[in-house]
Amino acid sequence: MAGWTSTKWLLWISLYVIPGIFLPWLIARTWNHQHGSSSKFSFKQLFRRGELGLLSLILASSVIWDLFQSQFMPHTIALSSIILAIIGIMAVNVWVETYCRQHSGTDWHPERAWRDSRSLALSVFGMAAVMEILLDRFAKVVAQ
Amino acid sequence: MSAAAPALAKKAERRIVVVRLADAAEAVAFVSAVFAVALIVFPTSFPHLIVSSWQHGQLMAVMMAFTLVLDGCLYFRVAHLLSARPGLVAAACLGSMPLLVVGGLSILLQAAVKHTLALDLPNLQGRVGEEILAHTYLALVAAVFLPFLVIRLLQQFKTKNV
């Protein structure tokens, strides 16, 4: 059973989740409270234009950087970087497309933007977690 | 003409299912979560299982079958939810791409393993095992996500040209 000591990836990923998702939500709540506004923002309302896509690309870039620092074979680094970059670009594309649609007056669907960005963000977060676990394992193997 | 005829005609003209990347992304997130949990809960036995099945030549076939079934189920689920009929191009794409992706990445893994063994590094067996583990995960993700990405791009291309 478990090497629970090797869960530093959880701490690492929370460095993105806390300032990227929880902090804006907390600031929005605080602002509402200070200004006596009765409206309460949910995550869905706050990120309904696909902003999670931007956060996903930043996270993907960070993992790609970590991969370049690792001692994996160039094949593995190239493959994982390309896959992460593709999913990250698709995630940020949701945000950009929603913004362009809204700006140009083309019909845009907040429900769809939220669902797409949430799902793509989940996939990037999942991939980032697995890659960090693999990087951690590989660093231990190299150190042996 | 009976009353049921227009309804039947309408049913026959059902539109082709439109795939969104969010559908594949959810599957990728699910695969990642399962892989991460397996690595944390079984840090030795799960990688050992993957490495030994690769050594016995079974890993590629299992991954091909798994991704083919997962992609197919995902596509039919979307078709069912949207009450739309599956398209021929998408079916061809989903039938061939997972096999091509897993096959192609298996060749890449062979090259990575050869490259690792050619280097004079300590703990070669451990390094090869970790390379196999990483490639297995990446092949799974690529074989789930890339076919849907291609279908999505083809759909957009078709929409622009209609």
pLDDT of residue B129: 94
Structural contact between residues A94 and A117, judged by C-beta atoms closer than 8 angstroms = yes
The answer to whether residue B3 is domain-embedded is no
b/e burial code for range B58-79 (CB count within 10 A of at least 16 → b) = ebbeebbebbbebbeebbeebb
Q: Please answer yes or no on whether B26 and A123 come within 8 Å at the CB atom.
A: yes
pLDDT band for position B32 (50/70/90)?
very high
SS3 A36: coil
**pLDDT on residue B119:** 86
**B140, part of any domain:** yes
**Alpha carbons A51 and A131: distance in angstroms, whole number:** 23
| Better-scored residue on pLDDT, B156 or A80 | A80
Query: Radius of gyration (Cα) for chain B, nearest Å?
Result: 20
The whole-angstrom distance between B1's CA and the closest CA on chain A is 39
B112 domain-assigned: yes
pLDDT of residue A16: 83
CB-based contact A59:A16 (threshold 8 Å): yes
User: Which residue type is seen at B125?
Assistant: Q
How distant is the Cα of A83 from the closest Cα of chain B, in angstroms?
7
Question: Does the structure show a pLDDT above 80 at B17?
Answer: yes
Task: Give the total number of structural domains in chain B.
Answer: 1
Domain-wise residue ranges, chain A:
42-143
- Residue in chain B closest to A5 (alpha carbons) equals B40
pLDDT in tens, A68-90: 999 999 999 999 999 999 999 99
Cα distance from A6 to chain B (closest Cα, Å)? 8
Residue-wise pLDDT for A93-136, tens only, equals 999 998 998 888 888 788 888 999 999 999 999 999 999 999 99
In a domain, B13, yes or no: no
Between A and B, how many residue pairs show a Cβ–Cβ distance under 8 A?
118
0.90 surpassed by pTM: no
Q: Is A127 on the interface with B (CB under 8 A)?
A: yes
Tokens of A88: 């990250």
Per-residue pLDDT tens digits for B108-138:
999 999 998 998 888 889 999 999 999 999 9
In a domain, B148, yes or no: yes
Chain A residue numbers touching B105 (CB-CB < 8 A): 79
Q: Are A43 and A22 in contact (CB under 8 A)?
A: no
What range defines the domain where residue B76 resides? 19-161
* DSSP three-state, residue B85: strand
